[in-house]
Amino acid sequence: MLLTDYIRAAMRRAQYEILSDGTFYGEIPGLQGVYANEPSLEGCRETLQEVLEGWILLGLRLGHTLPEVDGISLSIKQEAV
Protein backbone atom coordinates (compact mmCIF):
# COMPACT_ATOMS: atom_id res chain seq x y z
CA MET A 1 0.00 0.00 0.00
CA LEU A 2 2.92 2.36 0.64
CA LEU A 3 3.94 2.36 -3.05
CA THR A 4 0.37 3.09 -4.14
CA ASP A 5 0.14 5.94 -1.61
CA TYR A 6 3.41 7.41 -2.90
CA ILE A 7 2.23 7.26 -6.52
CA ARG A 8 -1.15 8.81 -5.67
CA ALA A 9 0.48 11.60 -3.66
CA ALA A 10 2.97 12.33 -6.44
CA MET A 11 0.24 12.38 -9.09
CA ARG A 12 -1.74 14.91 -7.01
CA ARG A 13 1.27 17.24 -7.42
CA ALA A 14 1.24 16.90 -11.21
CA GLN A 15 1.01 20.09 -13.23
CA TYR A 16 -0.31 20.19 -16.79
CA GLU A 17 -0.32 22.73 -19.59
CA ILE A 18 -1.42 22.87 -23.20
CA LEU A 19 1.48 23.55 -25.55
CA SER A 20 1.32 25.72 -28.67
CA ASP A 21 0.97 22.59 -30.84
CA GLY A 22 -2.18 21.58 -28.94
CA THR A 23 -0.58 18.70 -27.04
CA PHE A 24 -0.59 18.35 -23.27
CA TYR A 25 2.59 18.48 -21.19
CA GLY A 26 2.66 17.23 -17.62
CA GLU A 27 5.34 17.05 -14.96
CA ILE A 28 5.67 16.40 -11.26
CA PRO A 29 7.63 19.18 -9.56
CA GLY A 30 10.43 17.87 -7.37
CA LEU A 31 10.76 14.59 -9.28
CA GLN A 32 13.46 15.24 -11.84
CA GLY A 33 12.84 13.64 -15.21
CA VAL A 34 9.20 12.72 -14.54
CA TYR A 35 7.31 14.33 -17.41
CA ALA A 36 5.05 13.40 -20.33
CA ASN A 37 3.70 14.91 -23.54
CA GLU A 38 0.62 13.49 -25.25
CA PRO A 39 -2.19 14.57 -27.61
CA SER A 40 -4.87 14.35 -24.86
CA LEU A 41 -4.96 15.27 -21.18
CA GLU A 42 -6.01 11.74 -20.20
CA GLY A 43 -3.18 10.26 -22.27
CA CYS A 44 -0.76 12.66 -20.64
CA ARG A 45 -1.92 11.61 -17.16
CA GLU A 46 -1.59 7.92 -18.01
CA THR A 47 1.88 8.33 -19.52
CA LEU A 48 2.98 10.51 -16.62
CA GLN A 49 1.99 7.80 -14.14
CA GLU A 50 3.82 5.15 -16.19
CA VAL A 51 6.94 7.35 -16.24
CA LEU A 52 6.61 7.88 -12.48
CA GLU A 53 6.36 4.13 -11.83
CA GLY A 54 9.44 3.42 -13.94
CA TRP A 55 11.33 6.29 -12.26
CA ILE A 56 10.53 4.84 -8.82
CA LEU A 57 11.56 1.30 -9.77
CA LEU A 58 14.81 2.41 -11.37
CA GLY A 59 15.62 4.73 -8.47
CA LEU A 60 15.07 2.00 -5.89
CA ARG A 61 17.02 -0.56 -7.93
CA LEU A 62 19.97 1.83 -8.19
CA GLY A 63 19.78 2.61 -4.48
CA HIS A 64 18.87 6.27 -4.95
CA THR A 65 17.20 8.20 -2.19
CA LEU A 66 13.80 9.19 -3.51
CA PRO A 67 12.25 12.46 -2.38
CA GLU A 68 9.58 12.36 0.28
CA VAL A 69 6.11 13.12 -1.08
CA ASP A 70 3.45 14.34 1.36
CA GLY A 71 5.25 12.65 4.25
CA ILE A 72 5.66 9.34 2.39
CA SER A 73 9.16 7.94 1.91
CA LEU A 74 10.19 4.95 -0.17
CA SER A 75 13.37 3.02 0.44
CA ILE A 76 14.60 -0.54 0.31
CA LYS A 77 15.83 -1.89 3.58
CA GLN A 78 18.54 -4.47 3.16
CA GLU A 79 18.36 -7.41 5.52
CA ALA A 80 21.43 -8.87 7.13
CA VAL A 81 22.35 -12.27 5.74
What is residue 30's predicted lDDT score, i.e. its pLDDT?
A: 95
Q: Round to whole Å and give the CA distance between 12 and 5.
A: 11
In CATH terms, 2-61 corresponds, of 3.30.365.10, 3.40.50.2000, 3.30.160.250, 3.40.1790.10, to 3.30.160.250
What is the reported pTM? 0.89
Output b/e per residue, 33-42; b: 16+ Cβ within 10 A. ebbbebeeee
- State the pLDDT at residue 75: 79
Q: What is the pLDDT of residue 1?
A: 72
Domain ranges for the chain: 2-61
Those residues of the chain that have pLDDT short of 70 are 78-81
